[in-house]
Amino acid sequence: MLEQDKLDKIQGYLKEENLDGWLLADFHARNSIAVEFLDLSMHMTRRWFYLIPAEGEPVALINKIEKERFASLPGKKIYFTTYHSLEENIPKLLQGAGKLAMEYSRFGRLPYVGLVDAGTIELIRSFGVEVVSSADIVAGFQARLTEKQIVMHKKAATIVNCIKDDAFKLIKEFLEREQTINERMVIDFMMKRFEQEEMTTDFAPICAVDANICNPHYDPGENEPSDIKKDSLILIDLWAKLKKPHAVFADITWMAYAGETVPEKYAEEFHLITSARDAAVSYLWDKHEEGGSVYGFEVDNACRKIINKAGYGDYFFHRVGHSILEEGHGPGPNIDNIETKDRRKLHTGHLFSIEPGIYLEDHGMRTEIDVLMTPDGPDVTTQPIQQEIIPLLK
């Protein structure tokens, strides 16, 4: 439900940015931003538009078949049946607007926001409207955690840390008994623990050893998991949220070594990525203390600079972090200046990961924490923060 307070804030933002409105458009729930923002959880099968103007009441253009599904939304309703009547009524919808924000990304630079098809953008432009990206509106009004969500996220963070500890303990016990354990067994164990803790996830967590770590999205499948043996380097990446409405994910990555003493090469490489991670957090603190704005691509730069300087830049080929909300990869600003140049401003209430990694031929390294932007500065919510690889058989 679009409440008056939120509507007033959005209209205030539109005026500040010299925009005539925010035009939400969708077909078959493809525009998840629009569907979630208007809380249209029911099955949608027809095209629809909903304009939030900088001034005045919203206007919806809706197929008559689905008129009841928009009944609770504020504003004027215009109904159509044929594609001719849809196009004939668009001028009434636009109300002479000259510049509108839509879920569009110029040159596809922010595909997370580019959810309206090119044909619909062409249609709106054909009426003399300039279409710009709604990325900053979405970041400012849809990607910020509520107080209740922060509480649920922090509880999830505590639980996933405990499950991570339990998973490493499981590996340690099998190795000490000289019994066979493989990656799939650890993944299945973590999934079972999620269920026991009444948590859910979108994809299974990662347990990877040695060269398998070199694939950031590694999945051993059901039939090809690698055994975890003495002297294996082990990565565990797990993410989950509470089974509650609007719960928010927690997402962490930790590393261990199946031996008594971590090899010096591994220790040095892990120190490099933790230094890069910590440099990103320090940069956020510096910007907070300066009182200036900070953007996703800038934090990526601060982190990546450390790894580049050490000569490992070619081995760090993914963004530094992603937005986190009700989805593991949320709609807010990402910490990214490699896959995209994320120029969205980080606001209070934004949650994101910081997860630098390096991926060599025979092994890889990654560390991951979650950071919440608060009025008092960046808060690392996934405590404790790993500083050294864990020697499991010490």
Does the 4-141 domain belong in CATH 3.40.50.1980? no
Of the chain, the percentage scoring pLDDT greater than 70 comes to 100
The residue extents of the domains of the chain are: 4-141, 147-391
For residue 378, whether the previous peptide bond is cis, meaning omega lies within 30 degrees of 0, is no
The pLDDT value recorded for residue 291 is 94
Say if residues 25 and 31 touch (Cβ distance below 8 Å): yes
Segment holding 149, helix H or strand E? helix 147-176
Query: What's the rounded Cα separation, in Å, for the pair 76 and 57?
Result: 7
The pLDDT value recorded for residue 365 is 98
Say if residues 394 and 379 touch (Cβ distance below 8 Å): no
Does the 147-391 domain belong in CATH 3.90.230.10? yes
Say if residues 160 and 252 touch (Cβ distance below 8 Å): yes
User: According to the 3-state scheme, what is the secondary structure of 352-390?
Assistant: EEECCEEECCCCEEECEEEEEEECCEEEECCCCCCCCCE
Query: What's the rounded Cα separation, in Å, for the pair 280 and 299?
Result: 6
| Integer angstrom CA distances of residue 391 from 42, 265, 366, 368 | 50, 14, 16, 18
Which residues, given as ranges, of the chain have pLDDT below 50? Answer: none
The distance from CA 156 to its chain's CA centroid, rounded to whole angstroms, is 16
The pLDDT value recorded for residue 1 is 64
The pLDDT value recorded for residue 109 is 85
The pLDDT value recorded for residue 275 is 98
